[in-house]
Amino acid sequence: MTSKLNKEEKELTGKSVPRKKGLEGIYERQEFIENLDKKIDWLKKDFYPDEMVRGNIENYLGTAKIPVGIAGPLLINGDHAQGEFYIPLATTEGSLVASYNRGMTVIKKSGGCKVKIFEDGMHRAPMFRFSSLTEAEKFTKWLKNNIDIMKEAASKTTSHGRLDDIDIYNLGRTVYVRFGFFTADAAGMNMVNLASYAICKKIQSTYPHWNAVESFHLASKFCSDKKYSQINVLKGRGKKVTAEVEINKEVLENLLRTTPERINSSFIDGTLSGMYCGATSNGFHAANGLTALFIACGQDVANIAECHADIWDIRLTDDGVYFAITLPSLIVGTVGGGTNLPTQKECLNILGCKGTDKSLKFAEIVASVVLAGEISLVGAITSEEWVTAHEKYGRNKE
């Protein structure tokens, strides 16, 4: 294959990206890419000062901008989120904001949705491999009798979080220990990593038969970090949240142009179809609303891999349909991470969710947004308006 690189490109190819910090480093990296004859005019516009994004990104070059739409009002009757909220959604998918907005209108016309949080904790699961089954059994018994030692070790690493519980899973000579932490208003990934490391170092120095450990890993895939898993659906990771609403027949017909019977049939047939093809949940598109809200509000978007598995419950009522969604593994925070970036902070402030003592409120809002999106989409599918809606709003016609 003939190389099409010009002389300057050949000189730059293979060189490391400039790593200098500060404004000078940003300019150096921009020039480095432009010397490869690549235009980055939009990436260069309105970039943040280096100190503002330090801790969020390395080798900072510029800022990718995603359009933010606003939907609402969304009426929520939660324990922490109460009243009407306007929802910022960052997306490039046409028709998405309009669809969620319609679902929110349906919820408001139905008196609002009720929300409950059933679990709240972040998990890390180290693994220990032993020389024999007998040694694995000894370790399991020791763990159960020494939880206080582990709680003390964790407490020395954080003033906000705490070790609440441990679950032990045995697989032959391997012992998986699933630590459950309360992380206050942070999503808590870094917090639980540091605490888990301290716990394991304490185990290493305290357990009398440590020489029987053949291998140890602080993070086994048993955590299912940023991966869907059935254990996180059953046991939860992050916050387990349910949002529900009852919608009467008149609202269904006027706003969604469908009927309770069609909705119920879609739920039954869709759940069966999902089971047959091996789908991970019976919901429609929780990932859409979660991703749009996560980007707008500075959440770790990669967590969508495990957060998206919503579980639907639909029942016919005397006058319409009961809708409920459960998010068993919702990972959100209102402090730390990307929540301190300027536009993300503003979006959280739109919701009244920036800072301490706000993570439960934010979780209730997130679940309510997912509920609105699911209601709107099932309405569009059962009224056969789904394709025409995308045709109208979702095509980038030139």
The catalytic residue positions are 93, 300, 390
CB of 166 closer than 8 Å to CB of 178: yes
In DSSP terms, which residues pair with 166 in a beta bridge? 179
Tokens 């540091």, located at residue: 194
- Dist CA 68 CA 343 (whole Å): 10
**Phi then psi for 47, rounded to 5 degrees?**
-75, 155
**103, 371 contact by CB (below 8 A):** yes
Residue 252 in tokens: 């269904």
Q: Which of 12, 76, 69, 104 is nearest to 296 (CA)?
A: 69
**Cβ–Cβ under 8 Å, residues 228 and 328:** no
Question: How many whole angstroms separate alpha carbon 342 and alpha carbon 335?
Answer: 13
Tokens of 15: 């060189």
Name the 3-class secondary structure at 2. Answer: coil
> Which amino acid is it at 306?
E
Q: Where are the alpha helices (DSSP H) in 297-358?
A: 304-307, 342-350
Give Rg (Cα) of the chain.
25
In this structure, is the dihedral angle defined by the CA atoms of residues 203, 204, 210 and 215, taken in order, positive or negative? positive
Q: Who contacts 239 (Cβ-Cβ below 8 Å, separation ≥6)?
A: 117, 119, 120, 327, 330, 331, 332, 359, 360, 363
Length of the chain: 398
